[in-house]
A and B are shown apart, each in its own frame.
Chain A
Amino acid sequence: MPALVELRGVSKHYRRADTGETVVAVEDVSLDVHQGEVLGVIGYSGAGKSTLVRLVNALELPTSGSVTVAGQDLTAIPERDRRLARRKIGMIFQQFNLFRSRTVAGNVAYPLKVAGVAKEERDRRVAELLDFVGLLERAHAHPEQLSGGQKQRVGIARALASNPELLLADEATSALDPDTTSEVLALLRRVNRELGVTIVVITHEMDAVRQIADRVAVMERGRVVEVGDVYDVFARPQTGAAKRFVRSALHDRPSADQLRRLREHHGGRIVTVQITDEVGLQNRIDTVWRDTGVAAELVHGGVGEIRERRIGSLTYELTAADPAAVDRALTALRDQGTTVDEEDAS
């Protein structure tokens, strides 16, 4: 897939006005956004993801590195051309950032006015967009009369006004309740599928990534520490940060409290086996237990779906007459490529 956005060695350092010290917001990030995909960028607050997304539409300029969107290096062109480039990149925000002095229709019309679109064409386009987001009948309402979900739908309509190829969503669902979040994510999915708009979703919620993204980039302290297909990152997270996010979205692993209770009732070693969509996996796991003479008691877990593929984890209590048998069992599983985590005694 061709890349719509190419970040190459991008760093952004700020000098704090009050103390004069340098803050590293983004450090040496190289990342592609493929044409037509939904890329999730996940990280805790302060990880640099909001800065990263503002580098993509050149609201911020990098300290070093290059930002290429649709073949144009935004760092190498004058501000006048950057303004033109921004018209092809929509953006939605956590706090919606709607113009309170304008009606719903006026908000959606704003980018068209900026682009110098004639009135009749503007009105036609605004009606079309409001229809797409299901708010045509609220065209003359003011933003403060809308619910949070409706405001974000207006934000999406406004961001799409100038037919962008790329949509940047900066924590677009973080101010919304779970039901509204799903509704907005579903709308973004439609924007991606029906209009073919490439989307970058910045979030700290792995659930949002799970619901909408094709690929995910995990950010930590300004760096992208892991990138991959959403399923792969969920099934085989490589870094500590990715593991924590996966854990937050999949509730199939025992919490610290649950582990403590499990230990009270179970004297054996407690391990969690990652379940993927690999054919015959369950069978192989059971075979390992049997062959090594380990008694495996299922004590926790769950299996679900991501991107329509099986995923989950099962937690077992393992006991054996020979303590070394448990180690042999774990080694055998790992040798087969299965991810097994021993739950640390705490």
Chain B
Amino acid sequence: MNTGFQSVVDTFDVFLAAVRDTLVMTLVSLVVAGVIGLALGLALYATRPGNLLGSRAAYTVLNLVVNIVRPIPFVIFLAAIAPLSRVAVQTTIGVPAVTFAISLAASFAVSRIVEQNLLAVDPGVVEAARAAGAHQLAILFTVLIPEGLGPLILGYTFIFVGIVDMTAQGALIGGGGIGEYAITFGSQRYNWWIVYVSVAAIVVIVQLGQFLGNRLARATLRR
């Protein structure tokens, strides 16, 4: 087999499918983890002792779960989650299994980012809302999220880059995507053209995401 630039042309349809898979896995995981992570992050913030719905018991449990799951290296998480994937998406390989694993792993990462950004919101504005007679839950949605939106978007952008990284690791369970393309067609065949084209594709995706995130955050922060 040709290992020169011609190989990139020969496998171009595989490459396009890989880009599509990467984008699908990234975007679906970002949305799912975004929503679940937001809910989990809000729960972490709200139940923190002294906060709106402060409950030491609830916070301790949530905090423990997040702390146990979050540090697991993703390649190990990918393997460990297989039984759950079988139940949830009826398969332990391919794009659905990888997307499921990323969505779950990223939810925990997002939850911390949400929690931290909400903690950074000036407690004074929360107090102002309480003084106006607002309900605790209303304060979460009418004050905390709007006030923390700029940094939250930057946090989501940060997570986006992490998710792109995870899609590549999905190659381990036949996840498709640019990572698998780079490994099976590229490095395993000593075909560096394919590896570098893959790197370039990833760089472009990440740059686009980062650019979009920065723009959105700036529009929100108005600075």
- Looking at the assembled complex, report how far the CB atom of A89 sits from the nearest CB atom of chain B, in whole angstroms: 7
What are the residues of chain A within 8 A of B204 when measuring CB–CB?
A: none
- Number of B residues near A (Cβ < 8 Å) is 22
Q: From the candidates B125, B127, B133, name the one contacting A84 in the complex (CB within 8 A).
A: B133
Please state if A100 and B133 are interface contacts (CB–CB under 8 Å).
no
A86 within 8 Å of B by Cβ? Answer: yes
What are the residues of chain B within 8 A of A57 when measuring CB–CB?
A: 131
What are the residues of chain A within 8 A of B143 when measuring CB–CB?
A: 99
B interface secondary structure, majority: helix
Given contacts A83-B133, A86-B133, A114-B138, whether A99 and B124 have CB atoms under 8 Å apart is no
Q: From the candidates B49, B124, B142, B222, name the one contacting A93 in the complex (CB within 8 A).
A: B124
- Looking at the assembled complex, report how far the CB atom of A295 sits from the nearest CB atom of chain B, in whole angstroms: 59
- Can you list, as one digit per residue, whether each of B144-162 has a CB less than 8 Å from chain A (1) or not (0)? 0011010000000000000
Please state if B133 and A115 are interface contacts (CB–CB under 8 Å).
yes
Given contacts A93-B124, A93-B127, A95-B124, whether A83 and B134 have CB atoms under 8 Å apart is yes
Interface residues of B in 171-191 (CB under 8 A from A): none
Please state if A97 and B122 are interface contacts (CB–CB under 8 Å).
yes
Please state if A110 and B129 are interface contacts (CB–CB under 8 Å).
yes
Please state if A83 and B147 are interface contacts (CB–CB under 8 Å).
no
Please state if A162 and B132 are interface contacts (CB–CB under 8 Å).
yes
Given contacts A93-B124, A99-B146, A99-B147, whether A87 and B133 have CB atoms under 8 Å apart is yes
B215 within 8 Å of A by Cβ? Answer: no
Please state if A114 and B147 are interface contacts (CB–CB under 8 Å).
no
Please state if A83 and B135 are interface contacts (CB–CB under 8 Å).
yes
Please state if A101 and B147 are interface contacts (CB–CB under 8 Å).
yes
Q: From the candidates B49, B130, B134, B146, name the one contacting A102 in the complex (CB within 8 A).
A: B146
Q: How far apart are the CA atoms of A15 and B136 in the complex, in Å?
A: 23
B17 within 8 Å of A by Cβ? Answer: no
A91 within 8 Å of B by Cβ? Answer: yes
Please state if B125 and A98 are interface contacts (CB–CB under 8 Å).
yes
Q: How far apart are the CA atoms of A313 and B143 in the complex, in Å?
A: 51
Please state if B132 and A87 are interface contacts (CB–CB under 8 Å).
yes
Q: How far apart are the CA atoms of A168 and B131 in the complex, in Å?
A: 10
Q: How far apart are the CA atoms of A89 and B124 in the complex, in Å?
A: 17
Q: How far apart are the CA atoms of A110 and B130 in the complex, in Å?
A: 11
- Can you list, as one digit per residue, whether each of B190-223 has a CB less than 8 Å from chain A (1) or not (0)? 0000000000000000000000000000001010
Q: Which 6 A-B pairs have the closest CB atoms?
A: A97-B124, A87-B133, A101-B146, A86-B133, A111-B132, A91-B131
A-B contact pairs, 23 of them (CB 8 A): A17-B49, A17-B50, A59-B130, A84-B133, A87-B132, A89-B131, A90-B131, A93-B124, A93-B127, A95-B122, A97-B124, A97-B125, A99-B128, A99-B143, A101-B149, A110-B129, A110-B134, A110-B142, A113-B142, A114-B138, A115-B133, A158-B132, A162-B132
Partner-B contacts on A (CB < 8 A): 17, 57, 59, 83-87, 89-91, 93, 95, 97-102, 110-111, 113-115, 142, 144, 158, 161-162, 168
Taking A17-B49, A85-B133, A110-B142 as known contacts, 15 extra A-B pairs with beta carbons closer than 8 A to each other, sorted by chain A number, are A17-B50, A59-B127, A59-B130, A86-B133, A91-B128, A93-B128, A95-B124, A97-B127, A98-B128, A101-B147, A110-B132, A111-B133, A114-B134, A162-B132, A162-B133
